[in-house]
């Protein structure tokens, strides 16, 4: 069997974003909306078993802080997550995130050997774009055959199937 493509995840694979960016952005958005919660490293490590930021927030409220549920609608959760994403992209744009060691070389090698590059991630397309463009330059997205982000499917569990369907077409 010949290698035809490399599929990357983003958070924790391309870049160490979870504790350095996502966690800090969540706590900043909690302050922004004056919510009575704070995630430390231990809570966040447990929450990482839930795929997706909005889903992680909902899981936290339902399982760790149910009193927050009384005052928040699904629309409020969306607003909180959108603001968190805005904060996160701001941090990324400021250069606070770098790729993991060897990732840039691997991406260049794969591209130079005419293999397909793809991304399958539960994070949003805007997060992927911000990370790639801030670390590899504005034209890097053209090197990826497919970027399947969590905001393009109804359920994030559908991403692997969606990715395979796109690559074999």
Active site residues: 9, 11
* Strand partners for 11: 15
Question: Which of 17, 2, 3 minimizes the C-alpha distance to 121?
Answer: 17
């Amino acid at each position: 069997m010949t290698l035809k493509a490399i599929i990357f995840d983003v958070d924790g694979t391309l870049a160490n974003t979870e504790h350095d960016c996502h966690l800090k952005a969540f706590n900043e958005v909690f302050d922004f909306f004056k919510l009575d919660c704070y995630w430390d490293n231990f809570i966040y490590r447990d929450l990482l078993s839930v795929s997706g930021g909005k889903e992680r927030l909902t899981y936290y409220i339902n399982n760790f802080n149910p009193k927050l549920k009384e005052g928040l609608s699904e629309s409020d959760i969306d607003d909180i997550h959108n603001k968190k994403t805005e904060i996160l992209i701001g941090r990324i744009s400021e250069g606070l995130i770098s790729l993991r060691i060897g990732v840039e070389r691997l991406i260049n090698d794969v591209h130079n050997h005419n293999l397909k590059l793809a991304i399958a991630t539960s994070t949003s397309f805007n997060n992927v774009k911000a990370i790639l463009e801030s670390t590899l330059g504005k034209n890097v997205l053209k090197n990826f055959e497919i970027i399947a982000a969590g905001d393009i499917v109804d359920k994030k569990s559908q991403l692997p199937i969606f990715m395979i369907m796109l690559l074999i077409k």
